[in-house]
């Protein structure tokens, strides 16, 4: 399955939808599928700043605990506060209802386009 073409990706399996100076971020369908059933998600708060490549939260599934790494830098404008209580949204709709943060963008990390990300996933499997 190919990833949405309008998104940018990290090699650590997060995505970013950049619209003007605001970016929405989450984890990819591949990441959600690999983690399987999620049990816990910790997100930062509005007003916190995030840095591309650095941890912004953590996610725990029945299999593992993983750091969430931000694809971009900026200040958090909005948090999907209901997501930790509706973790199935991450599995069922990773690019929609499963969004995690909206960030007022100041910079981006080294991001991949959909084709490059799909190749990365394909090569790894």
List of residues contacting another protein (CB under 8 A)? 40, 42, 45, 58, 65, 67
Percent helix, strand and coil across the chain, each to the nearest 5? 20, 40, 40
Q: Least distance in Å: CB of 5 to another protein?
A: 34
Q: Cβ closer to another protein: 6 or 40?
A: 40
DSSP string spanning 54-95?
Answer: SEEEEEEESS-EEEEE-SEEEEEEEE-TTGGG-THHHHH-TT
Q: Least distance in Å: CB of 82 to another protein?
A: 15
Q: Least distance in Å: CB of 113 to another protein?
A: 31
Q: Cβ closer to another protein: 68 or 103?
A: 68
């Amino acid at each position: 399955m190919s990833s949405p073409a309008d998104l940018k990706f990290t090699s650590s399996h997060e995505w970013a939808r950049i619209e003007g100076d605001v970016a929405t971020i989450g984890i990819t369908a591949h990441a959600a599928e690999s983690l399987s059933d999620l049990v816990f998600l910790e997100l930062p708060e509005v007003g916190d700043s995030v840095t591309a490549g650095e941890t912004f939260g953590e996610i725990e599934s029945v299999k593992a605990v993983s750091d969430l790494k931000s694809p971009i830098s900026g200040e958090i404008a909005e948090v999907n506060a209901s997501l930790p209580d509706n973790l199935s949204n991450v599995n069922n709709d990773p690019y929609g209802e499963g969004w995690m943060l909206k960030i007022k963008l100041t910079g981006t990390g080294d991001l991949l386009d959909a084709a490059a990300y799909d190749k990365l996933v394909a090569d790894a499997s």
